[in-house]
Structure 1
Amino acid sequence: MFEKKAFTIQEQISRLKSRGLIITPEDEAEHYLSHISYYRLGEYWYVMQEDKVEHTFKPNSKFADVIALYNFDRELRILLFDVIEKLEISLRTKMIYHLSHEFNAWWFQNFELFQDSRALVKTLANLEEEISRTKDITIKSHIKKHKDDLRFPPAWKSLEQTSFGALSKLYGNLKNTVKSKDVIAKEYGAVNHTYLPSWLQSISQIRNFCAHHSRLWNRNLPGKPKLLPNPPNSWIVNVPSQGQFQFLYIHLCLMKYMLNLVQPGNHFSEKLEELFVKYPNVDPNALGMKPSWQQEPLWSKSVDNKINLKEGNEPAHD
């Protein structure tokens, strides 16, 4: 039976010091521990421990370095959340546009277009819940105006209420005979539907980590995205082995690959590099970063892939 009692902040500090963690008055440990839980910070000092059973620290382990790791990770999540927002809006736009034109505005309710009916039922149930509680005036006005229409509002209204994860599942669940599935994949440089679902799943998982303020630094990530053997756009020469896919680096590469099409001339490379410069105590290997990753064709500042979207490609919001 678990019997540990809660420690006061002063007791937490005393315990860390007794285990060998260097804490100075300048570190403001009491302030940090009153705003960031001991348990959360423990994910960052774990690698500094020499004895993982007794929780004793390696020589010269510093509380200041723990806070630096925490801040690096926090700023990394903010950066990635910004990148993923652009990808999410792009994916939503492409799915609404292409599938609404190939079929109609209610394609996402058409069970004949999807491989797994039970998965679609779950997706639609979640969508119905989102729509029922939304404050969005567009949705409320549509339901009021068309109260005799028992269908969902059209795709360009309904799918604005969905998460990246739901969009990813909708796309992956489409039958491979749906033409738009390949069209969308090609517009992201993924050639065909074989590869893009795993990319979207990877990005969705990372988005969830970011949204819940979970650690990305030194984390083993689930899932192994499928990589193109010969990508049509700028990619990396030094491709990690499958065994290294649990690290963040390959997932960052996929985000950058798609972002170069969604937002040509983006500053993802510079911002990521600035983070490592700002926090020199962060070991890039903990993210699986390759040596000289900045010089890879994908990450080069000279990359300027043209966007595949044309202006005015969304159905009228009526």
Structure 2
Amino acid sequence: MFTKKAFTLEEQVAQLQSRGLQIKHPRIAEKYLINISYYRLGEYWYVMQSDKENHIFKPNSNFMDVIALYNFDAELRLLLFDVIEKIEISLRTKLIYYLSHEVNPWWFQNFDLFTDSKALVKTLSSLEDEISRTKDEVIKKHNKKHNDDGRFPPAWKSLEQTSFGALSKLYGNLKHTVKAKDAIAKEFGAVNHTFLPSWLQSIAQIRNFCAHHSRLWNRNLPGTVKLLPKPPNAWIADEDNIPKQHEFSKLYVHMCLMKYMLNTIIPKNEFTQKLTILFEKYQNVDPNALGMKPNWQNEPLWK
């Protein structure tokens, strides 16, 4: 039976100190702990413990280093969220444009275009929920004007309401015979439909971590990605710096794919500069926790 009682802020600080975490200003630590929960911060001090069973900290472990890690991670999420937003808007626009021209504005309701009917039913059900809840004036006016039309509003209205995850599922579920599937992949530098679905899936997962303020630093990411053997656009020149299969759980390979896609959308983007500034600002953060490669900034991809 679970018998632990809730600790006061003073007790939380005292427990950390008793376990070897250096806290120079207990009152300041309490201020952090009332705004950032003990267990949320615990994800950042976990690596500082030499005895993880008894939660004993390594010598010279410092509370303010924990806060620095937390702040680095928060700023990293904001940076990636900004990059992912641009990829999401581009994907949404391409799906709407290419499929609406190849098929019609209601292509996303056409079961003949998709491989997995059950998956499409789930996607459409989620989309229906989004549209029913939206306060978007465009949707409201459409429904009022066309209340006798049993279909969703056309793609350029409906798909503005859906998530990146739903967009990535729609794309991945398209049959390979749909010409737009390859056309969209080529625009993102992915050559054909074989590679892009795994990229979108990984980015959608990372977007969810960002949206829910979840830790990215030193995290093993789920899923895997397929890398192009010969990318048509600027990539990583040093063979040793190309992430290997066992490194796909680290954030770096996923950031490389974000950068690769972003370069097709905004060739002169500032992702490299902003990421470099972030590491310079938090010099105590170990880049290896993200799987960063030596001199990554010098690779053609990141220039």
TM-score range, shorter chain: over 0.9
Q: What is aligned with 1:57? A: 57
Q: What is aligned with 2:262? A: 259
What percent identity do the matched residue pairs reach? 75
Q: How does 1:27-66 map to 2 (within 5 A)?
A: 28-66=28-66
- CA apart distance, 1:12: 0.2
TM-score, normalized by length of structure 2?
0.98
**Conserved? CA contact 1:236–1:296, under 8 Å:** yes
Q: How does 1:213-252 map to 2 (within 5 A)?
A: 213-237=213-237, 238-252=241-255
- CA apart distance, 1:2: 1.6
Q: Label 1:56 to 1:281 Cα distance change in 2 as closer, same or farther (>3 A).
A: same
CA distance in 2, matches of 1:129, 1:241: 40
Q: Cα deviation per residue 1:193-218 (whole Å; 9 max; x = unaligned)? A: 00000000010000000000000000
Q: Label 1:92 to 1:263 Cα distance change in 2 as closer, same or farther (>3 A).
A: same
Q: Cα deviation per residue 1:224-255 (whole Å; 9 max; x = unaligned)? A: 10000000000013201100100000000000
Could you list the runs of 4 or more consecutive aligned residues of structure 1 that deviate by over 2 angstroms after TM superposition?
none
Q: Which amino acid aligns with 1:96?
A: I
The Cα RMSD (Å) is 0.8
Shifted more, 100-109 versus 235-244: the winner is 235-244
Q: What is aligned with 1:204? A: 204
Q: How does 1:266-281 map to 2 (within 5 A)?
A: 266-281=269-284
Q: Which amino acid aligns with 1:141?
A: K
Q: Cα deviation per residue 1:257-302 (whole Å; 9 max; x = unaligned)? A: 00011111100000001111000110000000001111111001xx
**Conserved? CA contact 1:221–1:248, under 8 Å:** yes
Q: What is aligned with 1:314? A: none
Q: What is aligned with 2:149? A: 149
**Conserved? CA contact 2:13–2:26, under 8 Å:** no
Q: Which amino acid aligns with 1:234?
A: A
Q: Which amino acid aligns with 2:249?
A: Q
Q: Cα deviation per residue 1:164-206 (whole Å; 9 max; x = unaligned)? A: 0000000000000000000000000000000000000010000
Q: Which amino acid aligns with 1:263?
A: I
Q: Cα deviation per residue 1:120-169 (whole Å; 9 max; x = unaligned)? A: 00000000000001000000000000000010000000000000000000
Q: Which amino acid aligns with 1:294?
A: Q
- CA apart distance, 1:27: 7.9
Any gaps of 5 or more consecutive residues in structure 2? none
Q: How does 1:48-127 map to 2 (within 5 A)?
A: 48-127=48-127
- CA apart distance, 1:49: 0.2
CA distance in 2, matches of 1:28, 1:255: 37
Q: Which amino acid aligns with 1:273?
A: T
Q: What is aligned with 1:309? A: none
Higher helix share: 2
SS state of the match for residue 50, structure 1? strand
CA distance in 1, matches of 2:232, 2:282: 34
Answering whether residue 299 of structure 2 is matched by residue 296 of structure 1, we say yes
Q: Cα deviation per residue 1:10-39 (whole Å; 9 max; x = unaligned)? A: 000000000000001288101100100000
Q: Which amino acid aligns with 1:211?
A: A
Any gaps of 5 or more consecutive residues in structure 1? 301-318
